[in-house]
């Protein structure tokens, strides 16, 4: 665990400036939630994905979230090609793990429609959906996004937009992809989450 804590600390220190460019919904709090959810799914479903790979994917998948349209592509290409010592030293002689993390960054979005290149991509895509019972956290994260991008709205207008967005994305007929891994890991809570969102 010390190695993971040291890596997390090094990542946060090294990339603080890059993260600062993102809106408030795509900061270290979100990255840590993705990491914790990824670890949970990994353990619950009996996978053997490396914890450090989950950490790297969680902390780099949204590194370029200031560019909403192609941030996933930027993250994938950056992770594949960077010569940053943290990445190079961690993945020395282990290119297949680095490639899996890069593809997971590129395939993490809820709107991703293709087939996952690796099972690890599905794990990270699932982890990015978050723990299903934490609706207040989903509302708050969406509110922070809207606060950054629509600062001139009234609080009531902003909250109406947040609720409409969550229903459109995660409601009963929402467009967000729900990966099989996520459904299996959280099957007992999925319907309750949908109902909660529909009743917002």
Contacts 24+ apart (CB under 8 A), 160-166: 163/139, 163/200, 166/138, 166/139, 166/142, 166/197, 166/200
pTM for the full model? 0.88
DSSP H/E element including 104: helix 95-106
Quote the CA–CA distance of 185 and 166 in Å, as a whole number: 21
* 120 token code pair: 């690890």
pLDDT of residue 178: 84
Quote the CA–CA distance of 158 and 151 in Å, as a whole number: 9
- Give per-residue burial for 168-197: e unless 16+ CB within 10 Å, then b: eebbeebeeebbebbeebbeeeeeebbebb
Contact by Cβ (8 Å): 4, 51 = yes
Average the pLDDT over 40-54 and give the result.
Answer: 97
Contact by Cβ (8 Å): 47, 100 = no
Q: Is the pLDDT of residue 177 over 80?
A: no
Average the pLDDT over 163-189 and give the result.
Answer: 90
CB atoms within 10 A of CB 145: 21
pLDDT tens digits for 78-100?
999 999 999 999 998 778 999 99
Helical H runs in 15-94? 16-20, 28-44, 51-60, 71-81, 85-90
């Amino acid at each position: 665990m010390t190695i993971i804590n040291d890596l997390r600390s090094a990542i946060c220190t090294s990339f603080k400036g890059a993260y600062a460019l993102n809106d408030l919904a795509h900061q270290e709090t979100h990255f840590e939630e993705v990491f914790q959810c990824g670890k949970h799914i990994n353990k619950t479903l009996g996978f053997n994905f490396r914890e450090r790979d989950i950490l790297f994917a969680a902390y780099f998948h949204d590194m370029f979230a200031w560019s909403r349209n192609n941030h996933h592509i930027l993250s994938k290409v950056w992770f594949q090609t960077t010569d940053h010592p943290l990445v190079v030293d961690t993945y020395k002689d282990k290119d297949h793990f680095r490639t899996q993390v890069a593809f997971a960054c590129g395939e993490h979005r809820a709107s991703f429609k293709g087939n996952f290149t690796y099972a690890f991509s599905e794990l990270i895509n699932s982890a990015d959906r978050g723990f299903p019972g934490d609706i207040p956290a989903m509302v708050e994260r969406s509110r922070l996004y809207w606060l950054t991008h629509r600062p001139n709205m009234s609080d009531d207008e902003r909250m109406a937009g947040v609720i409409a967005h969550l229903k459109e994305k995660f409601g009963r007929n929402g467009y967000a992809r729900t990966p099989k891994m996520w459904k299996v890991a959280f099957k007992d809570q999925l319907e309750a989450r949908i109902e909660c969102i529909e009743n917002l």
